[in-house]
Chain A
C-alpha cells in the first residue's frame, strides 16, 4: 500500500496542486496534496509490512500495458484466427488455432515467469556470495546461457519423453532454463557493479554509510540495479521462449499453435502455416506487453519503453 499511496498522489502533484499550497509553517507536511495526512497515515500503518506493499498496485500498469498492446497483440491473433477460418483446408482450423494459442501461452508464460525470477535471484546472489550454493548456481546459469538454447533443450526433453519421462514438467523446465540463464547472465554483472567500487556502487556505499543494515542495503539498494537490465532483456527472453515452445510442441506433438504451423509447413500448406505464424506474432506481442507491465510494476520510474536492449 505504501508505494501505491505515494503513486496515487503523483498525478495530483504534477497538475500543480502541490505547488500552489501556501509555503509556510507546514512542518508536518511533506507534499500532501491529496489533503491532510491521509495518504501518509495509511502508509505509516503499513510501515512494518513493507515488503508486501507493492502487490496492492500490481494490476494497474499491467492492465495499462495490455490495453496499449491491443493493436499489436490481439489484432494479429484475431487476424490469424480469422484467416485460418477463411483459407485453411480443415473446417475446424480456427478453433484448433485458438486452442493452440492457449496451449502455447500456457507453456511459455509460467516458464518465463519462473525462469526469469529464479535466474535473477541466482544471478544476483552469485555476486553477493559467489561461493555459496545459490551463487554457484547463478554463475553456472550465467555462464551456460548461450550453451542452452530453448530448442535444444526441447529436443532433449523430447528424447527424455521418448525414453519414458512425463511430458509436462519437462516441457516447462526446458523452456524456463533458457529464461533463467538469460536473466542470470544480465543480473550477475549488474549486481557486481552495484556492489563494486565504480560509480554504480554509489547507492550501496551511501546506504552503508548511512548505517542501514546489510539486508536492507541488498534488497533496496543493490537488487533493483540488478533487476533493471533483466527487465530490459525480457524481450529477447520472450523471443527465445517462443522459438523454444514451437520446437517443444512440434517434437512432443502437443496441440499448440507452433505445432500447427510446423505441421502445415511440413506439408507445404501456406494456408495452414501463415495464419498460425501471424497469431504467434500476436502472442509474442502479448507476452512482451505483460513483460513491460511487470517492469513498470516493479520499477515505477520506468514509464517509457526502452528501444532495443538485450537483443
Chain B
C-alpha cells in the first residue's frame, strides 16, 4: 500500500511549543515554591500575624500550604491513576479483554463526574488533612487512569514488540528492555495531569472555606476571604499567585505530554 507523499514542500510544521511552555511552567512553579519557602524571611521572621503582614508576604506564606498540599495530593493522585491503568492492563492479560474494558470505562465515566465537588464536601464533613488529600487525589485519579491506559494500549500494539519477539526475546525480557523504558515517559506525563487538577480542586474548596485548615494557609482561602470582605488589596496578590501557579501546572502537564508525543 502506497501512502501519500507528505506534501514535499511543507515547511516543517510549527514546532510544538509545548516543550518550551513546559519548561517555563516548571521554572515559574519552582520560583513560586522558592519564594513561598523564603517568605518567612521577608516577614522579618517575627511572629506571623498573617492579616497584619503586608498582603504580598501573606500571599507568599499561603503558597506554602497550597503548593505542598498540591504536591502531596498530585503524587497520590498520579500514583493512584497510574496504578488503576496498570491494573486494567493486568486484568486484560490475566482475566480477559472484557475485564480490562470495564475497568477503563469506569475510569472514563468517573472522569466525567464533577468529582471536584467532593473536595469541599470532604473538607466540611471529614475535616482531617490527610483524608482531604486522599479525596483530592481521588478526584484527579480517573482522568490520569484513562490517559495512562490509552498510552499503555498504544504501546502494547507497537510494531517493535513484534520485532523483539521475532528475535526470540522472552516475554520477561520484552517487558524489561522495551515495555518499561517506553512506558516511563507516557505514564509520567499522565501522572503530571494530576497536578493542575488537585491544585484547582484544593483552591476551590479553600475558596469556599472548606479546604485546608486556616493554620496551614492557602491561596484559595485568602482569595475567598478577601472576596467576602470586598477587599481588593488583599484579593489581588493571592489571586494572581494562584492563577500563575495554575497556569504553570497546566503548562508542565502540557509540556510533558508534548514531549511524549514528539517522534
**Residue of A at shortest CB range from B105?**
A307
In the assembled complex, the Cα of A266 lies from the Cα of B204 at a distance in Å of: 14
| 5 closest Cβ pairs, A-B complex | A162-B230, A265-B124, A146-B250, A197-B10, A158-B227
Are A268 and B111 touching (Cβ within 8 A)? no
**Residue of A at shortest CB range from B125?**
A270
Stretch at the interface among B88-96, B168-176, B239-247: B239-247
Are A265 and B123 touching (Cβ within 8 A)? yes
Are A163 and B232 touching (Cβ within 8 A)? yes
Are A159 and B204 touching (Cβ within 8 A)? no
B177 to chain A, nearest CB (A): 30
Contact partner of A284 (CB less than 8 A), chosen from B112, B143, B220, is: B112
Question: Does residue A232 face the partner (Cβ distance < 8 Å to B)?
Answer: no
Q: Mark B1-14, 1 if CB is under 8 A from A, else 0.
A: 00010110111011
Since A152-B246, A264-B124, A265-B120 are in contact, a sample of 17 more A-B pairs with Cβ atoms closer than 8 Å, ordered by chain A residue number, is A146-B246, A147-B243, A149-B246, A151-B203, A152-B203, A155-B227, A156-B235, A159-B232, A159-B235, A196-B13, A197-B11, A239-B114, A251-B208, A261-B117, A265-B123, A308-B150, A311-B146
B119 to chain A, nearest CB (A): 10
Which residues of B in the span 1-45 have a Cβ within 8 Å of any Cβ on A?
A: 4, 6-7, 9-11, 13-14
Which residues of B in the span 204-222 have a Cβ within 8 Å of any Cβ on A?
A: 204, 207-210, 220
The verdict on A159 contacting B226 (CB below 8 Å), with A146-B196, A280-B117 known, is yes
Contact partner of A162 (CB less than 8 A), chosen from B10, B11, B203, B227, is: B227
A171 to chain B, nearest CB (A): 13
Are A148 and B118 touching (Cβ within 8 A)? no
Are B121 and A265 touching (Cβ within 8 A)? yes
Are B147 and A243 touching (Cβ within 8 A)? no
| Residues in B neighbouring A267, C-beta threshold 8 A | 124
Q: List 29 A-B contacts (CB under 8 A).
A: A146-B250, A147-B247, A149-B203, A151-B200, A155-B224, A155-B235, A156-B239, A159-B230, A192-B14, A197-B13, A235-B112, A243-B116, A243-B200, A246-B204, A246-B208, A247-B207, A251-B207, A251-B228, A261-B117, A262-B210, A264-B124, A265-B123, A270-B125, A274-B121, A285-B112, A307-B146, A308-B111, A311-B111, A311-B147
The verdict on A308 contacting B147 (CB below 8 Å), with A159-B226, A266-B209 known, is yes
| Residues in A neighbouring B232, C-beta threshold 8 A | 159, 163
Question: Does residue B223 face the partner (Cβ distance < 8 Å to A)?
Answer: yes
Are B227 and A156 touching (Cβ within 8 A)? yes
Are B13 and A284 touching (Cβ within 8 A)? no
| Residues in A neighbouring B121, C-beta threshold 8 A | 261, 265, 273-274, 277
B interface residues (Cβ-Cβ under 8 A, vs A): 4, 6-7, 9-11, 13-14, 105, 108, 111-114, 116-118, 120-121, 123-125, 143, 146-147, 150, 196, 200, 203-204, 207-210, 220, 223-224, 226-232, 235, 239, 242-244, 246-247, 249-251
Q: Mark A139-177, 1 if CB is under 8 A from B, else 0.
A: 000000111110110111011001100000000000000
| Residues in B neighbouring A198, C-beta threshold 8 A | 7, 10, 13
| Residues in A neighbouring B229, C-beta threshold 8 A | 162
| Residues in B neighbouring A243, C-beta threshold 8 A | 114, 116-117, 200, 204
**Residue of B at shortest CB range from A201?**
B7
Are B243 and A242 touching (Cβ within 8 A)? no
**Residue of A at shortest CB range from B111?**
A311
Contact partner of B114 (CB less than 8 A), chosen from A155, A242, A250, A251, is: A242
In the assembled complex, the Cα of A243 lies from the Cα of B242 at a distance in Å of: 16
The verdict on A152 contacting B239 (CB below 8 Å), with A265-B121, A308-B108 known, is yes
In the assembled complex, the Cα of A162 lies from the Cα of B225 at a distance in Å of: 12
**Residue of A at shortest CB range from B11?**
A197
B85 to chain A, nearest CB (A): 12
| Residues in B neighbouring A258, C-beta threshold 8 A | 117
A174 to chain B, nearest CB (A): 11
Are B114 and A152 touching (Cβ within 8 A)? no
B26 to chain A, nearest CB (A): 14
In the assembled complex, the Cα of A118 lies from the Cα of B145 at a distance in Å of: 32
| Residues in B neighbouring A270, C-beta threshold 8 A | 125
**Residue of A at shortest CB range from B230?**
A162
In the assembled complex, the Cα of A273 lies from the Cα of B118 at a distance in Å of: 10
The verdict on A247 contacting B208 (CB below 8 Å), with A146-B251, A162-B230 known, is yes
